[in-house]
Amino acid sequence: MKLIEEVTDILSHLYEHGWDERNGGNLSYIAKEEEVAEVCSLDSNLRAFVYPDCDLSSLVGKYFVITGTGKYFKNCEKDPETNLGIVRVEDAHTLRLLWGYKTGGSPTSEAPTHLLCHAKRLAQDPAHRVVMHCHPTNLIAMTHVVPLDSARFTEILWKMQTESIVVFPEGVAVLPWMLCGGTEIGLATAEKMDSYRSVVWAQHGLFCTGRDLDEAYGLIETIEKAAEIYMLIADKKILQSISNDNLKDIAKAFRLEYRKGIID
Ligand code: 13P
Ligand code: ZN
């Protein structure tokens, strides 16, 4: 079950960082048919989950590994079949459960955000596969003390360490505090995913996407690392920093198409 092993390995790493307390965080991963077939029968039909407010038509036929609502990341590796599910999108509003959620339950409460973000990212990048949500401590702290503006957040995060602009040249989008667990926040997040792979939820956490688990996880690590540096130095006397010109030099050297209008 390589598919399940890879997913639960990443979930354990996220948990060990302290970014997924209790049932915090959720993950969904577009699985290939042959990967699913190694875990369960493709004809399996355990239950259905209906999302009347979400248009999933562009995802019909796709398989997802998706964490269960209320489940703890720390438990996924030792009992994946209870804490994870494998679903197929049956029609524009319905998921069919093929495997998992053994003791009951359903996909994460953030399933609307995950699914709408998958649809949006796939439209931008056919190789896209992963949506990851977690509660990184320093990034959440930043949303208490920095104006909730995507350009301002991006500029700060880029200037905290040399690697930031290399890893997320498109920047990060920031949403104001919104009620989580519904279609409204899902639509707002997916709208940002048109041109970002990372969306910050104020006083809540982070959504990152990627072509594979490592890419989405690496985005989270790099963004949270930059936020950690910011929270370490924000109230100190700054003697030197990365300048706009330094960032432009990095962009030139790495041939980055970075988001314009922030350091120009
Ligand atoms: P779930 O347990 O439903 O995945 O919710 C966790 C979470 O982080 C909500 O934003
Ligand atoms: Zn959350």
Secondary element (H or E) of residue 197:
none
Element (H, E) at 64: strand 63-67
pLDDT tens readout for residues 15-63 = 999 999 999 999 999 999 999 999 999 999 999 999 999 999 999 999 9
pLDDT of residue 1: 86
- What region, left, alpha or beta, does residue 91 occupy, with left being phi > 0 and alpha being psi -120 to 50 degrees? beta
Q: Which residues line ligand 1 (CB under 6 A)?
A: 23-26, 67, 69-70, 108-110, 133, 180
Amino acid type, 82: T
Question: Could you tell me whether strands 94-100 and 205-210 are parallel, antiparallel, or unpaired per DSSP bridges?
Answer: unpaired
Q: How far is the CA of 134 from the centre of ligand 2 (A)?
A: 6
Mean pLDDT of 92-99: 98
What's the pTM? Answer: 0.98
Q: What is the largest CA-CA distance in the chain?
A: 63
pLDDT tens by residue, 103-145: 999 999 999 999 999 999 999 999 999 999 999 999 999 999 9
The token duo for 89 is: 């999108």
- Say how many Å lie between the CA of residue 127 and the centre of ligand 1: 26
The preferred substitution site among 22, 66, 133 for testing ligand 1, maximizing ligand atoms within 8 Å of CB, is: 133
Cα 133 to ligand 2 centre (Å): 6
Question: Which ligand does the CA of 22 lie closest to?
Answer: 1
